[in-house]
Amino acid sequence: MVLFALAPAVLAAPISACITRWSMPLLQRYALARPNARSSHRIPTPQGAGIAVIAATLLVAAPWAAWIHAAIPLPLIGSAVLIALVGLVDDVRPLPVVLRLLLQAGAVAAVVFTTPEALRIVPALPLAVERTLILIGGVWFVNLVNFMDGLDLMTVAEVVPVTATLGLLGWWGDLSPSAALIATALCGAMLGFAPFNRPVAKVFLGDVGSLPIGLLLGWCLLELAWQGQPAAALLLPAYYLVDSTVTLFRRIARREQFWSAHRSHFYQRATDNGFTVRRVIGDVFALNLLLAVLAIITVSASSTWVTWLAFVAGAIAIGFVLRRFSRPQAF
Residue 179 amino acid letter = A
Low-confidence winner among 161-165, 268-272, 306-310 (lowest mean pLDDT)? 268-272
Residue 56 lies in a domain: yes
- Residue 71 · residue 119 · CB < 8 Å: no
Q: Rounded to an integer, what distance in angstroms lies between the CA atom of residue 176 and that of residue 223?
A: 7
Tell me if the pTM is above 0.85: yes
| CB atoms near residue 195 (< 10 Å) | 13
CA 185 distance to own-chain centroid = 14
Q: Report the phi/psi class of residue 202: left, alpha or beta, with left for phi > 0 and alpha for psi in -120 to 50.
A: alpha
Residue 331 lies in a domain: no
Find out whether 152 is annotated in a ligand binding site.
Answer: no
Number of domains the chain is built from: 1
pLDDT tens for 127-140 read 999 999 999 999 99
- Residue 60 · residue 185 · CB < 8 Å: yes
Name the pLDDT band for 93 (thresholds 50, 70, 90).
confident
- Those residues whose C-beta lies under 8 Å from the C-beta of residue 146, and which sit 6 or more positions away, are 87, 207, 210, 211, 214
| Residue 257 domain boundaries | 2-325
Name the pLDDT band for 263 (thresholds 50, 70, 90).
confident
Residue 330 lies in a domain: no
Residue 161 lies in a domain: yes
Name the pLDDT band for 261 (thresholds 50, 70, 90).
low
pLDDT tens for 138-159 read 999 999 999 899 899 999 999 9
Closest Cα to residue 155, out of 140, 144, 169? Answer: 144
Residue 307 lies in a domain: yes
pLDDT tens for 290-331 read 999 999 999 998 789 999 999 999 999 999 999 999 988 765
Is residue 204 classed as helix, strand or coil in its secondary structure? strand
Mean pLDDT of 267-291: 94
- Those residues whose C-beta lies under 8 Å from the C-beta of residue 201, and which sit 6 or more positions away, are 41, 45, 152, 153
- Residue 149 · residue 240 · CB < 8 Å: no
Percent of the chain's residues with pLDDT above 90: 74
Q: Rounded to an integer, what distance in angstroms lies between the CA atom of residue 18 and that of residue 196?
A: 11
CA 23 distance to own-chain centroid = 22
Q: Is the pLDDT of residue 271 over 70?
A: yes
- Residue 185 · residue 56 · CB < 8 Å: yes
What is the pLDDT at residue 249? 86
- Residue 41 · residue 200 · CB < 8 Å: yes
Supply the DSSP string of 12-36, one letter for each residue.
HHHHHHHHHHHHHHHHHHH-EE---
Closest Cα to residue 8, out of 171, 146, 117, 200? Answer: 171
